[in-house]
Structure 1
Amino acid sequence: MIYHGDEAKQHLFEGIDELANAVSVTLGPATKSVIIDRRDDLPPLVINDGVTVARHISLEDKVKNIGAKLLIEVANKAQQGAGDGTTSSIVIAQALIKECMKFENISGVQIRDTLEYLLQNTLAALDAMKREIEIESDDLYEVALISANNDEGIAKLISSAIKEIGREGIITIEPSPYGKDEYKVTDGYESKKGYISPLISRVMGKKKNFENPLLVFSNTDVNNFSELLPALEISVEEKRPIIFMLKSVTLPVINSYLMNQMNGNINACILQAEDISFWQDERMGDLATLTGGNFFDTGLNMKLENITLDDMGTCGVATVTEDYSTFVDFEKDDKLIEKRLNAIEEDMNLTDNEFYQKKYLDRISRIKGSGAVIYIHGLSEQEIRNKMDRIDDCLNATRAALNNGVVLGSGLALYGASNVMYDSDEITKAFIVALRSVFNKLYYNLTGHTVKPELVLKNLKAGYQYDGRSRDWVISGQIIDPVDVVKSSLKAAVSVASYVMTADCIIGVKDEKMQLL
């Protein structure tokens, strides 16, 4: 199946429109739930998380499904950028593409270039609007509350945990064994690296939790899978998962590991050690000390073939993703940790190099870091999964707000940015419609009808904003969104709109069905 020109764009947009209409009902504080059927007699999922809805959609029409997949990519980009704002990005993309589809005699390249120009201007406007928030302020709770779809319990849980452990603290989320939602403060460490290969995420998923894992740290260049076997055998004997943090591994080693993992022979994961050279070794040594293990240093002729259970570290929960890894709840030796901290401080005092000093300070901060485990209770799998998704979004949003500030919420920051644009050409007019789409959709979800731009702009000018919870205009500043989330949503939407408007040909894959003879 091959489509060209406007016909190709139309097929893409039809798929985009179908997916966006399903996802956009989850936008705002009065979100409607989406019920998703599942195979193999599994109970249906009842959720209101936009990106989860998007990922479960597959259209029968293969060409339309290409458009749907493009929109799913928008949601993924928004989530990777700031961890939240996925539904907003889909709403913006739908509105922008819909308006651009109306153009006649405007080339896709011109549309793309103009959208990029307007995007950069809007990002600058958002930066000018933002304000910083403090960890002790009520703003933290407000950000959490909005991101959690006005679930006060989740908002209080997140804001309280962050306030107690600090902005650099590590938070993980687990199903509750205690019959209630709560958090417990513990020790925590975050490595800025995740899976050692993208291939692993295809098997383990984008995010994987390991409870009570064994931990192995080594700067060995692993060239043969047999080098890992002694440690893996210990893992099997102890009936505990095992995590390797290594300098490097070859592709044959990764393939052997994945084959054994998929066959259920092992429960293991391989991580990329953070940093390079001397600093990489030191960071692995730091984490080994925290977790009660040994760092296998090839410079000291230490070989993984000789590893024992006593050489392995451990923690309560390890969370691994494509981009980072976290470790919480250590059975640590305070004397050994104090000794290592003293050694780092002595090394730091011996150098005047600012780069080195920052490295040492970062290591000290990581070692002293604290963490929290948030335990989530629910009466069903759907309830627990829904709450964990909301908490994950909520956590990402609050961290983004703390790091880079906030702007007006409910889509009104983008609406305000649209008011300073000169709608002198068709592309700018389309962009203005897209900037206003988030608030317009949120308002429609709440009230069932549209809102006049004059009313919105009048209230913004008077210092008011719309509170979806009370369905009224209130004093500005009470409803806020992290600026990073707003910017990430907009960037992802413009990106996919540019793909669609510059597309001039679509090649679909035709299903080959077996014929019965």
Structure 2
Amino acid sequence: MKNSICKSRNIDQIKSGIHRTSKILSLTIGPRGKNIVIWNKIETPIILNDGTSIVNNLSNVNFNEHIGQYVIKEVVHNVNNSVGDGTSTTGILVGDLLQNGLSLINSGYRFQNMSEGLTKICYLLIQKINHIAWPLTKNDDILKIAINSTGGDVNLGNLLYQAFTKIGINGMINVETANSKYSSLVINAGFQFDRGYVSHKFINNFDTSSCEYDDCLVLVSDLELNTIDDAVMIMQAVMKAGKPLLLITEKIEKKPLITFINNYMKNKIQFVAVKIPSFGKYRKAVLQDISIATGAELLSKDKGNSFKQLQPSFFGSVKKCSVTRSSCTLIIKNKYKTSILRRIEFLENQLVENESTYETSFISERIAKMSGGVAIIQIGAHSDVELNDKLLRIEDAKNATFAALTKGVITGGATSFVHFSNLLQYYLMILQVIKEKIPLKLLINSLKKPAEHIIENSENNPYSIHRDLVTYPFEIGFDSNSNCITNLASEGVNDPSMLFFSSLNTLSKIAPVLLSVKMLLVKNKNIKLDITTTNKGVLKIPRLLNM
């Protein structure tokens, strides 16, 4: 049976859930933020400093408090998906505004005025962000933001910087666990796919157990090579060209394969064959990518082609090919760059239009391979606790650095929010519409909160520092590492402009929704939440210990 709940105490409980979640996030924010230990007496304690991971491990017995907690979780997840970093900053900002906004609405203020005012002000600030953001053009700036994004870890920041500089923003960066205690970077240059030679007889580099050719022809086909006649047609074309050949095809039957091997062993041809990469419906897409990257024309059964129709125009070429037992790497020629860029643009448009997680991942991987590089950051550590912390840091830093490279940066350390707050103070003085002044005052106060907690975590007085900051230009802020007011922009303490855009955009979208809530409809009083049960049957929230 449904229960209608519309008492003011329930609003207070929602605010309590928001406050508790924001309070936990405030402990972790900034370079000197504290760690949080999450323990439910059943599993091993987890030590975290990442906002997304922390809110994922929170739950609440009281349903009304759970609503407030859920809202902050959604905000954090939204920013994590779009930027990857700054989740605690956004959670604190939105949490403070929602708490004060709910108090005003509960006391009789019209939520329509609140909603319209917040939307208008956030739009103005977003326009300001677009105006003041600047691109990262120097390598030193990229290195600094990579180090800052990893929480000041110089080693991880350097690995991330090297990965971005070597493969670019269109490349793919994967994070893996290393087998050793030390972190390292592995770059897979060129177009690489996970298919090796069909026979070890084609090996010509016995030191690496691979087959390597320079200035190699490439023939791409989804046909099955069934007869010796087909093999002879291919070998005649290769011998006429006088170059090595990499054959990528569906299947080679035993007799034509033996024909290739015998002629290779007699030094009549330089040859290696691999099977088509990928599976199912994705095979054709990958074959088209390889054809474009190498300048080859795809021999396809859909076109009615056969090996008997083989012409010199069907062959593409690469600077170098290297084929091992399990992989094939192609170093692409520069003359195909224009075609590759057009293909990447086409794939990026597909990426924007696609909502499937798997499809998005597959298209992103294709873009990375077409761009010519995949970087693997292998994370090592001396303990599982350290490893878990490093993995969370590098994943956030990777996303934040990418956002900074693509959308630009503005002054970091939540200092920009403080300057935005000061800017809105002047706007408040000239504002004529009275109903917009209250939401403006709320936002002015909330914008200061992230920086306040950063300063508090560094054991300084936020109020005196804020009083000094309002007299300085936009690039000046408080550096928690050195405990002084300095030029953060010149020191490389910057944040992706996408973080501030995402924070304000999320605030303008989610605040009107929660502030317009008037009644709770509960289908069942005994709502089951993801919480811990002790031996006595008493429900408890996972314990949070401030380290």
Change (3 A) 1:393 1:120: same
Does the 8 Å CA contact 1:186/1:371 hold for their aligned counterparts?
yes
Verify: 1:426 aligned to 2:441, yes or no: no
Gaps of 5+ in 1: 192-216, 219-242, 248-272, 274-279, 303-328, 349-353
Give per-residue Cα distances to partners, 1:428-471, cap 9 Å, x unaligned: 00011122221111111211543247524345239632111111
User: Match of 2:463?
Assistant: 451
User: 1:91-240 to 2 correspondence within 5 Å?
Assistant: 91-103=92-104, 104-134=107-137, 136-187=138-189
User: Match of 1:468?
Assistant: 480
1:331 Cα deviation from its structure 2 partner: 2.0
1:97 Cα deviation from its structure 2 partner: 1.2
1:298 Cα deviation from its structure 2 partner: 7.8
Q: Which amino acid letter does the alignment assign opposite residue 426 of structure 1?
A: I
Distance in 2, Cα, partners of 1:289 & 1:332: 16
Verify: 1:48 aligned to 2:49, yes or no: yes
Partner SS for 1:141: helix
User: Match of 1:499?
Assistant: 513
Change (3 A) 1:109 1:365: same
1:25 Cα deviation from its structure 2 partner: 0.8
1:384 Cα deviation from its structure 2 partner: 1.1
Verify: 1:490 aligned to 2:504, yes or no: yes
Change (3 A) 1:42 1:417: same
- RMSD of equivalent CA atoms: 3.9
How many residues align structurally?
A: 396
Change (3 A) 1:359 1:61: closer
Verify: 1:372 aligned to 2:386, yes or no: no
Distance in 2, Cα, partners of 1:416 & 1:25: 23
Distance in 1, Cα, partners of 2:165 & 2:25: 33
Change (3 A) 1:463 1:167: closer
Q: Which amino acid letter does the alignment assign opposite residue 75 of structure 1?
A: V
Identity %: 20
Distance in 2, Cα, partners of 1:458 & 1:57: 36
User: Match of 1:81?
Assistant: 82
Task: Give the alignment partner of residue 494 of structure 2, picking from 458, 467, 480.
Answer: 480
Distance in 2, Cα, partners of 1:7 & 1:298: 70
Q: Which amino acid letter does the alignment assign opposite residue 83 of structure 2?
A: A
Verify: 1:334 aligned to 2:330, yes or no: yes
TM-score (norm 2): 0.64
1:244 Cα deviation from its structure 2 partner: 6.4
Distance in 1, Cα, partners of 2:192 & 2:126: 30
Q: Which amino acid letter does the alignment assign opposite residue 73 of structure 2?
A: I
Does the 8 Å CA contact 1:144/1:394 hold for their aligned counterparts?
yes
Change (3 A) 1:360 1:330: farther
Partner SS for 1:172: strand
Q: Which amino acid letter does the alignment assign opposite residue 510 of structure 1?
A: K
Change (3 A) 1:8 1:495: farther
Change (3 A) 1:167 1:474: same
Verify: 1:299 aligned to 2:302, yes or no: yes
Q: Which amino acid letter does the alignment assign opposite residue 438 of structure 1?
A: P
Partner SS for 2:162: helix
Partner SS for 2:72: helix
Change (3 A) 1:357 1:163: closer
Q: Could you say which structure has the larger radius of gyration? A: 2
Partner SS for 1:109: helix
Give per-residue Cα distances to partners, 1:213-239, cap 9 Å, x unaligned: xxxx99xxxxxxxxxxxxxxxxxxxxx
Does the 8 Å CA contact 1:412/1:465 hold for their aligned counterparts?
yes
Does the 8 Å CA contact 1:378/1:384 hold for their aligned counterparts?
yes
Change (3 A) 1:86 1:297: farther
Task: Give the alignment partner of residue 13 of structure 1, picking from 3, 12, 15.
Answer: 15
Does the 8 Å CA contact 1:82/1:484 hold for their aligned counterparts?
yes
Partner SS for 1:451: helix
Distance in 1, Cα, partners of 2:279 & 2:117: 46
User: 1:283-432 to 2 correspondence within 5 Å?
Assistant: 283=286, 285-286=288-289, 299=302, 331-332=327-328, 334=330, 359=346, 366-421=369-424, 422-423=427-428, 425-432=437-444
Change (3 A) 1:373 1:178: same
User: Match of 1:214?
Assistant: none
Distance in 2, Cα, partners of 1:31 & 1:7: 33
Gaps of 5+ in 2: 194-220, 223-276, 306-324, 350-365, 432-436, 529-547
1:123 Cα deviation from its structure 2 partner: 0.6
Distance in 2, Cα, partners of 1:410 & 1:416: 12
Partner SS for 1:87: helix
Distance in 1, Cα, partners of 2:113 & 2:301: 56
Distance in 1, Cα, partners of 2:336 & 2:501: 42
Distance in 2, Cα, partners of 1:366 & 1:285: 13
Does the 8 Å CA contact 2:30/2:454 hold for their aligned counterparts?
yes
Partner SS for 2:375: strand
Change (3 A) 1:400 1:364: closer
Partner SS for 1:68: helix
Change (3 A) 1:342 1:245: farther
Does the 8 Å CA contact 2:418/2:447 hold for their aligned counterparts?
yes
Partner SS for 1:133: coil
Partner SS for 1:174: strand
TM-score (norm 1): 0.68
Q: Which amino acid letter does the alignment assign opposite residue 483 of structure 1?
A: S
Does the 8 Å CA contact 2:180/2:381 hold for their aligned counterparts?
no
Distance in 1, Cα, partners of 2:384 & 2:518: 44
Partner SS for 1:167: coil
Give per-residue Cα distances to partners, 1:235-293, cap 9 Å, x unaligned: xxxxxxxx96655xxxxxxxxxxxxxxxxxxxxxxxxx6xxxxxx95455326999xxx
User: 1:245-264 to 2 correspondence within 5 Å?
Assistant: 247=281
Distance in 1, Cα, partners of 2:457 & 2:336: 58
Distance in 1, Cα, partners of 2:501 & 2:90: 9
Partner SS for 1:149: coil
Distance in 2, Cα, partners of 1:75 & 1:512: 24
Change (3 A) 1:289 1:69: same
User: Match of 2:525?
Assistant: 510
1:357 Cα deviation from its structure 2 partner: 10
User: Match of 2:258?
Assistant: none
Does the 8 Å CA contact 1:344/1:364 hold for their aligned counterparts?
no
Give per-residue Cα distances to partners, 1:298-357, cap 9 Å, x unaligned: 83699xxxxxxxxxxxxxxxxxxxxxxxxxx9822539x76xx97897x89xxxxx9889
Change (3 A) 1:244 1:505: farther
Does the 8 Å CA contact 1:408/1:480 hold for their aligned counterparts?
yes
1:480 Cα deviation from its structure 2 partner: 0.8
